[in-house]
């Protein structure tokens, strides 16, 4: 009976020691060791444009979930399409230019920081 009590005490002491060491002091790296620091993980998510014939597919991973505006203008600057999305994590759009008038169209994605463009020429 004494050996069971002694072994249980040793196991409890070892568990407490390991649990205390796993959390570590708060001063370690300025924060707790088991917390994820966003400064260490930086992901640059530019939109991806993919063409299939006269169709253009747009995919954007909007990690900050801020406002994103999508515009389509022709070569004379006339606005053909506009949509503003807010709070969306994944933005997927498909543009079909098969029945469009002959022209050069620019699809613009305006993020809160940058503007991305892709041009489609319809002949």
Q: What's the Cα-to-Cα distance from 9 to each of 12, 15, 16, 29, 102, rounded to whole Å? A: 5, 10, 11, 33, 82
Given a cut of 90, is residue 123 above it in pLDDT? no
Kindly tell me if the per-residue pLDDT of 83 is higher than 70: yes
Taking only the tens place, the pLDDT of each residue in 23-43 is 555 555 555 545 555 555 666
95 and 53 assigned to the same domain: yes
Cα angle for residues 62, 88, 45 (degrees, 5° grid): 10
* Reported pTM: 0.64
Give bridge partners of residue 109 from the DSSP assignment.
Answer: 70, 116
Instruction: Tell me: do 53 and 98 sit in the same domain.
Output: yes
Q: Are residues 7 and 55 in the same domain?
A: no
- Using the predicted structure, report yes or no on whether residue 11 has a pLDDT greater than 70: no
Based on the structure, what is the number of domains in the chain? Answer: 2
Residues 82 and 33 in one domain: no
Mean pLDDT of 55-84: 94
> In this predicted model, which residue has the larger pLDDT, 7 or 62?
62
Which range marks the domain in which residue 96 is found? 48-122
């Amino acid at each position: 009976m004494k050996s069971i009590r002694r072994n249980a005490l040793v196991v409890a002491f070892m568990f407490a020691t390991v649990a205390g060491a796993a959390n570590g002091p708060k001063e370690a790296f300025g924060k707790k060791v088991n917390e994820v620091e966003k400064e260490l993980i930086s992901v640059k998510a530019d939109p991806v444009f993919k063409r299939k014939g006269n169709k253009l597919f747009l995919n954007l991973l909007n990690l900050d979930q801020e406002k994103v505006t999508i515009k389509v203008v022709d070569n004379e600057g006339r606005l053909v399409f506009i949509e503003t999305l807010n709070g969306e994590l994944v933005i997927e759009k498909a543009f079909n230019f098969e029945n469009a008038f002959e022209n050069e169209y620019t699809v613009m994605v305006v993020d809160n920081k940058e503007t991305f463009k892709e041009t489609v020429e319809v002949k």
